[in-house]
Amino acid sequence: MLRKAILPAAGMGTRFLPVTKASPKEMLPIVDKPLIQYSVEECERCGIREFIIITGKNKRAIEDHFDQFSELEEVLKQKGLDNLIEEINRHDESHFAYIRQSKPLGLGHAILCAKAFVKDEPFAVLLGDDIIDPDDTLLMDMIEIYRKYRSPVVALQEVPDDEVSKYGIVDGEPVIDFDTHNNPKQLYKINALIEKPRIEDAPSNLAVIGRYILTADIFDVLETIKPGRGGEYQLTDALNMLLSNRVVYGYLFKGNRYDAGDKFGFLKATIELSLKRPEFSEDLKKYVKALAGRL
Ligand code: G1P
């Protein structure tokens, strides 16, 4: 059973300045929910109820968001707004722990900060910039693959050449004996990973996107890696080293992912996720069509 997820949230959000100067990037709203809540709900849909959020400076709002707020509840009760009480208490069944990463030493270091919390269990890592379509079953599929093979699984997506240098890129071979309901070509056995290569050094266009199912042996490797790309401790480098001890799988995701850490990606996520909200869907569709006609 996979019970725990690590949500790294210590980054300074430089791609989204100025709004991230004093507010956490993870609290930027898509309609009425902050980005990080989309990751939390994605986990909850898979039965994951224990969250460790790796925070840093200026991130207090995240803790407040997942905490109880009895004064607000009282006000809502007096106003008869019971549906909103339910909404703000949506995550009551989940447990949240916070660890501060006091220096920006990279994703690998952020994950290592959670070692004592995770102990020897397998766990998920979700990078909140990557918003996965809530109707998709990506994380559930990855958990299913983990259950079958008992090996780490990373999510992959094909990216165009000019985006290769933004991602961890894998060299992998398709696994053909994969017999779940999934398409066999969607599963890869990984031979090597390289963090943000130049296109001429990239072994493929298969990029690691922000969903990982990891096993606790990654912590031992994270303790030994040297700073890599950008002088940071890279999870990609640790996974690459792990390959000498065990198989790591890549699961090719064909659904919709939005890079909400990027301003244009965030706009697209806002529009598309709003179109899925029954209360706006029809009006927004009409509006977008009318707007397109005027452009
Ligand atoms: C991180 C990882 C990278 C991965 C990417 C996915 O990079 O280091 O391997 O491909 O997330 O979004 P970041 O975007 O934090 O620089």
- Residue 177 buriedness (CB in 10 A; 0-12 / 13-18 / 19+): exposed
Task: Inform me whether the pLDDT recorded for 182 exceeds 90.
Answer: no
- Predicted confidence (pLDDT) per residue in 218-241, tens digit: 999 999 999 999 999 999 999 999
Q: Which atom of ligand 1 is nearest to the CA of 236?
A: 9
Task: Inform me whether the pLDDT recorded for 290 exceeds 90.
Answer: yes
Residue 198 to residues 137, 169, 189, 203, 205, Cα–Cα distance (Å)? 31, 10, 22, 10, 11
213 lines ligand 1 (CB under 6 A): no
Output the CA 191–ligand 1 centroid distance in Å: 19
Q: Which atom of ligand 1 is nearest to the CA of 129?
A: 12
Residue 206 confidence (pLDDT): 97
pTM comes to 0.95
Is residue 295 very low, low, confident or very high in pLDDT (cuts 50, 70, 90)? confident
Output the CA 249–ligand 1 centroid distance in Å: 17
CATH of domain 4-261: 3.90.550.10
Structure-block tokens of residue 128: 């909140």
* Pocket test residue of 14, 109, 164, 167 for ligand 1, highest count of atoms within 8 A of CB: 167
Establish whether the linkage from the previous residue to 122 is cis, with ω within 30° of 0.
no
The phi-psi region of residue 260 (left if phi > 0; otherwise alpha if psi is between -120 and 50; otherwise beta) is alpha
Tell which residue, 39, 52, 61, has the closest CA to residue 98: 52
Q: Are 188 and 250 in contact (CB under 8 A)?
A: yes
Average pLDDT over the chain reads 94
CA distance 39 to 128: 6
Residue 291 confidence (pLDDT): 93
Half-sphere exposure of 158 (CA within 13 A, CB side): 5
The DSSP bridge partners found for residue 252 are 156
210 lines ligand 1 (CB under 6 A): yes
